[in-house]
Structure 1
Amino acid sequence: MNVEEEVERLKEEIKRLGNLQADGSYKVKFGVLFHDDKCANIFEALVGTLRAAKKRKALTYDGELLLQGVHDNVEITLKPPPVADP
């Protein structure tokens, strides 16, 4: 998988595991993603994929590097899709 494909897969997993917010975004805690069996099988380097997605401004979270255990409660927010102009 290339980076773009991995970021798209990550978005789908955040939607699956996260909670839909009123603004159309999804929120999920890092620990939920990290400990999910399906995510573990998809992503060889979850932290690297999260960083790539953050760099592409697809999602946000506090900090630069997330570590299992220490950052399990850090909330990851998948931004809502852009609204198309009429």
Structure 2
Amino acid sequence: MTDLAGGDPRRSRQVRRVLAALAASDDDLMREMSRALLSGEMTLRQVADSEVYGAALSRSFARFWSDYERLGPEERAALARRADGGE
């Protein structure tokens, strides 16, 4: 996971937390993809290059970004603090 996080141990922990949450989600495809990443069965590049996983990731990110853009500065700051383990 450190390669996904640019060698940053804190970011690596965050990536693992996100993947673990996805591995327990109701979305079968996201669950399968996150488990493959966590197990090392696939790399992020392989996932992104995959027609199935890449499309699913793209849709998920588009939803996230749309929601994120509607947040005000204080809400964005709170979200960043939560991602860093604060709050």
Judge same fold: TM > 0.5, yes or no: no
More helix by share: 2
- Please report the TM-score for the alignment, with normalisation by the length of structure 1: 0.31
Higher relative contact order (CA 8 A, sep 6+): 1
Between structure 1 and structure 2, the one with the greater Rg is 2
- Please report the TM-score for the alignment, with normalisation by the length of structure 2: 0.31
